Structure 1
Amino acid sequence: MPTFEPFHALRPEPKYAEAFSSLPYDVFNRSEGRAEVRRRPLSFLRMDKAEVTLPDFIDNHDPRVYQQAALHFKEAIERQILTFDDVESYYLYRLSDGTHTQTGFVGCVSVADYDQGIIRKHEFTRPDKERDRVRHVQSLAAHTGPILLAHHPDLELDRVISEQDQQPPIYQFTAEDGIEHTIFKITERAAMMTIGSQFARHDHLYIADGHHRAEAASQVARLNHHEDAGLFLAVSFSSDQLNIQGYHRVVEDLYGQSVDELLTRISSRFTITPGRATETKPHRFEMYVKQHWYTLDYEKEHPSVKENLDVAILQDEVLTPFLGIEDPRTDSRIQFVGGIRGYAGLEQLVDQGTMAVAFHLHPTSLTELMAVADANEVMPPKSTWFEPKLRSGLLIHPFFK
């Protein structure tokens, strides 16, 4: 029985919404973030990744980073760029890229539900990233980046969406990447009661993206005894609306072997066809090396959902035995490329010599994600890439008021 509660949002005045909101902190490296803040000086990235506003000699995890984030946050409130909503509310968040539209509910979920497994996860988290988000949340006394959740399809929740999104939005803008962001505020009593009661009818909610932020919220709740610290910000979408793209892999060397040697070894476990595939599908991988594409088809089926994931098959059947990547969470020779960059991005990394080989994967499905979570298993890292991305800074859950 998940808790899904309305909250007093801290949010930008409408005239600032587009300029203030930003893509999540982990989309940018430090140099990209610095360029983004120069271009968009009001950007919430100044708070979400404050090291981009500090000299390079200051390490990403230096205490001054979090002090700087708090100063920027305080300034945004004092300048009334950010203001408090007067009543507890739910919100609808609609994203559209012109071909795909999804609408989710924004509210607060319970740390206790997360700790007890009612909110289910499917990834391990990295201690360094946990520490970063814990210190960030503590410094601001606020949850600023919403956790992306999925819930099973629900006709009553769909009805609320169809009624509420006919009302005037509080925000509506198209960001530079072409994604339209629209947010509606819900204060009508009957709709609010339906939202809370319908979420309580679900057995579980599922983290789609934001494992580190969820784990950080749990740790902060143990450190901060403010009542609202036991809740954290989330946007929950029906699982049939979320759009997952492939999360691809690139490796910086061929582990001391030639391309022909690598192909010979892979052919013992896969059927190899020169060129890109005419269609992608589960258990079909595409490999780019030395300016050539190869299609790798895998025929074997494994008994568990986790072992049958394409990301697991690639790891177990290629990356570990043939390229020496034992732990993709810690090995510096492997990098991950989100689906938005696609084939061209993979080719560029290999052709410019940054990486030696790239693997293009078919997307993991929401059904697979939920099945892994329900089995209390953990996917390999970077198994899912969700598009379009939520913007940070549009709705903030403070616990200092």
Structure 2
Amino acid sequence: MAVIKPFKAIRPAKDKASFVASRSYEEYPKDELKSVLKYNPFSFLHIINPGFKFHKNTKGRERFRLVHNRYLEFLEDHIFLKDDEPCFYLYQISKGDFNSLGFFCACSVLDYQNDVIKKHEDTIQRREKLFADYLDVVGFNAEPVLLTYANNSAIDEIIRNEASKEPEYNFTTTDKYNHQLWKIDDSATIGNLQTCFAQTDKLYIADGHHRSASSNLLAKKKKEANPNHSGTEPYNYFMAYLIPETEIKIYEFNRMVKDLNGFTKEEFLIQLDELYRIEKRDDGLYKPTQKHHFGMYLDGEYYSLYLRKTVYGFTDALSKLDTQILYKTILEPILGIHDLRKDKRISYGYGKHNVLKMKDNIDKGDYAVGFNLVPTTIEEIKAIADAGQVMPPKSTYIEPKLRSGMTIYEF
């Protein structure tokens, strides 16, 4: 059974929500980031870039303490307000034919530890500890873990009914996404949602493996330091955004490699021929449309690669995953890339226009060869998580990407 709890969110004053909400820090080009910080005093970016106030780059615990100070200033200036009662917070993001409707809640660290919350990615211990230290110092979390669950008609009915009401927030950001938020404060509705999820035996992490691992690490640390630990303290939970699996969008990450590991073009193609049927594409830009088929751009030409299944055998869920197949048949044995996280010869790109970007990068000589794939499916993610396996890095790029500062969870 999955445990979810309402919480007293700290969130923007209604008239400032559109100014506060920000994309992930890494998504901002340098010039845009500087412009937002200069001209929008309400942006959440001021909290996570606290050194801007002093025209100084800050690091480590000094930065963490300054983040905490900027956060307190937002509270003191009533940019942020705290709800009086624990609530769930329904949140919808939409643009064109993309629509994502889920809700913010607090999820149990015990569920994470007991594998009710399923993982499909490895985490890096150094990053876990760094973010756990960050959370400990700043005292809040503004970046929810994206969790998905199997579609459930009872949950869907509750959510749709709440979404028919007047939202607390309704605004459109400059990237043309519309954002709406509803506060679910009715005790009966909260109880009904909790009952539904108590009958749900699995939640899956779609995005946020390091955030959930860091929350777990922080909870263990605080439990050890608290002689009166009861299990009900806020640190026993972390903020999550729950969404049905049909409302997430999964994109592929393409791969680009700087060289052919000493092979000539012809030698490289001969190596590939052992495991793939290779066809040169004379019809321009090529993207694969089926599992176990890959697109390749090499020396100004597109190729389609069809896996020879009589040579490569499927043994488990991971072995069927295209990113794993590419790694085990080409990247590692032929191109000599053993560590997909650290090897600087390989780079990744995502998005619907990435095939063109990949071509441009290779044509400029920055890379020698590129591979494009079809997106991983939610069924593959669940199968690998259920088997206790982990995907290769950069196997999925998942939307929605949630705005920071919409709801904040205090420890």
**Partners of 1:32 and 1:305 in 2: CA distance:** 42
Q: Output one character per residue of 1:11-67: Cα deviation in whole Å (capped at 9) or x when no partner.
A: 111222222112224545878755654565533233346577787875xx5332222
The residue matched to 1:42 in structure 2 has which SS? coil
2:111 corresponding residue in structure 1: 113
Identify the range of structure 1 (199-208 vs 48-57) with the bigger mean alpha-carbon deviation: 48-57
Match among 222, 236, 240 for residue 220 of structure 2: 222
Q: Name the amino acid aligned to 1:177.
A: D
How far did 1:118 drift?
Answer: 0.9
Q: Any residues of structure 2 matched to 1:78-227 within 5 Å, and which? A: 78-225=76-223, 227=233
CA pair 396-366 structure 1, distance change in 2 beyond 3 A = same
Which of 299, 309, 316 is residue 328 of structure 2 equivalent to? 316
Which of residues 379, 384, 395 is equivalent to 1:367? 379
- Is 2:396 aligned against 1:384? yes
**Residues 338-347 or 95-104, more deviating:** 338-347
1: distance between equivalents of 2:143 and 2:362? 33
Partners of 1:285 and 1:145 in 2: CA distance: 34
Which stretch has the larger CA shift, 327-336 or 148-157? 327-336
SS at match of 1:157: helix
Q: Is the 8 A contact 2:169 2:182 kept in 1?
A: yes
* Aligned equivalents of 1:210, 1:190: Cα separation in 2: 30
When residues 57 and 10 of structure 1 are mapped into structure 2, their CA distance, relative to the original with a 3 A threshold, is: closer
Tell me, what secondary structure is at the counterpart of 1:162?
A: helix
Is the contact between residue 97 and residue 388 of structure 1 (CA under 8 Å) also seen in structure 2?
Answer: no
Larger Rg: 2
Q: 1:111 to 1:77 in 2, by over 3 A?
A: same
Unpaired runs of 5+ residues, structure 2, are: 227-232
Corresponding residue of 2:229: none
Q: Give the distance between the partners of 1:128 and 1:222, measured in 2 at CA.
A: 16
1:281 matches 2:290 = yes
How far apart, CA to CA, are the structure 1 residues paired with 2:258 and 2:268? 14
Aligned: 1:293 with 2:302: yes
Please point out which of 267, 285, 296 is paired with 2:273.
267
* Post-superposition CA distance 1:59-113 (Å, at most 9, x none): xx53322223222222221221111012110011112121121211210001111
**5+ residue gaps in structure 1?**
none
Q: Tell me how far apart the structure 2 counterparts of residues 358 and 33 of structure 1 sit (CA, whole Å).
A: 30
CA separation in 2, counterparts of 1:381 and 1:148? Answer: 18
For residues 207-238 of structure 1, the C-alpha deviation after alignment (integer angstroms, 9 at most, x for no partner) is 00000000110111122358101110001111
In the alignment, what sits opposite 2:409?
397
CA gap of 1:54–1:365, structure 2 versus 1, over 3 A, is farther
The alpha carbon displacement at 1:170 in A equals: 1.3
Q: Which moved more, 1:293-302 or 1:146-155?
A: 293-302
1:252 aligns to 2:250 (yes or no):
no
Q: Secondary structure at the match of 2:290?
A: coil
Q: Which stretch has the larger CA shift, 115-124 or 37-46? A: 37-46
Q: In the superposition, relative to structure 1, how do residues 237 and 369 fare at CA in structure 2: closer, same or farther (>3 Å)?
A: same
Q: TM-score, normalised by structure 1?
A: 0.92
On the 8 A contact 2:23/2:404 being kept in 1, the answer is: yes
Is the 1:96–1:388 Cα contact (8 Å) retained in structure 2?
A: no
C-alpha distance in 2 between matches for 1:149 and 1:237: 6
Q: Does 1:242 align with 2:248?
A: yes
Tell me the amino acid that sits aligned with residue 334 of structure 2.
F
Residues 288 and 304 of structure 2 are in contact (CA less than 8 Å); yes or no, is this contact kept in structure 1? Answer: no
Distance 1:255 1:278, change over 3 A: closer
Give TM-score scaled by structure 2 length: 0.90
Question: Compared with structure 1, are the counterparts of its residues 67 and 347 closer, same or farther at alpha carbon in structure 2 (3 Å cutoff)?
Answer: farther
How far apart are the structure 1 equivalents of 2:32 and 2:332? 31
**What is the CA–CA distance in structure 1 between the aligned matches of 2:365 and 2:74, rounded to whole Å?**
43
Q: Deviations over 1:302-334 (max 9, x none)?
A: 121111101101111111112111010222222
Instruction: State the distance in 2 between where 1:364 and 1:14 align.
Output: 38
Residues paired across the two proteins, number: 397
What SS does the aligned partner of 1:307 have? helix
Q: Which residue of the partner structure matches residue 5 of structure 1?
A: 5
- Structure 2 Cα separation of the partners of residues 286 and 56 of structure 1: 45
With over 3 angstroms needed to count, the CA separation of the structure-2 counterparts of 1:293 and 1:202, relative to structure 1, is: same
